Amino acid sequence: MNLPAFSSRCLVPGSLITTRLAVLSLALATGVGRLAAADPMTPAPAVADAPMVPPAPVLQKPLSPSGADIMTPQPSSQHVWIAGHWHWNGGQYGWVAGGWELPPVENAVWVASHWETQGNG
């Protein structure tokens, strides 16, 4: 279906399109005026304060392991034993049991996790 292109000839005074545009413009202007004229003395609703989160504790020594690791036989000479350790999962620490792992690349050197006291923690 081919529609004629819009042109200034459609906006002839007194035409249906001109009348509709004028009514629409008047309605929008009046509605915007009503929004702006809302009671300026009404205070905005109160927003609750966010709850306070206590600071994380500073430990003087590492946590004790949750359970003893049972070292199974080494699957191959390339496998490295990774001892059990505490792992932060976003909300709390969880114990990860030890196990045998293959290094990610050839000639990689494993450095076991350890605790270092630095400053205040």
Write down the domain spans for the chain.
9-37, 66-113
More confident position, 118 or 100: 100
Q: What are residue 99's DSSP bridge partners?
A: 82
The DSSP code for 40 is T
End-to-end alpha carbon distance in the chain: 76
DSSP-assigned beta bridge partners for residue 7: none
Structure tokens at 22: 């004028």
Position 11 confidence tier, pLDDT thresholds 50, 70, 90: low
DSSP secondary structure letter of residue 10: G
Give the pLDDT band of residue 114 (cuts 50, 70, 90): confident
Quick one: residue 119, left, alpha or beta (phi over 0 = left, psi -120 to 50 = alpha)? Answer: left
pTM metric for this prediction: 0.40
DSSP-assigned beta bridge partners for residue 82: 99
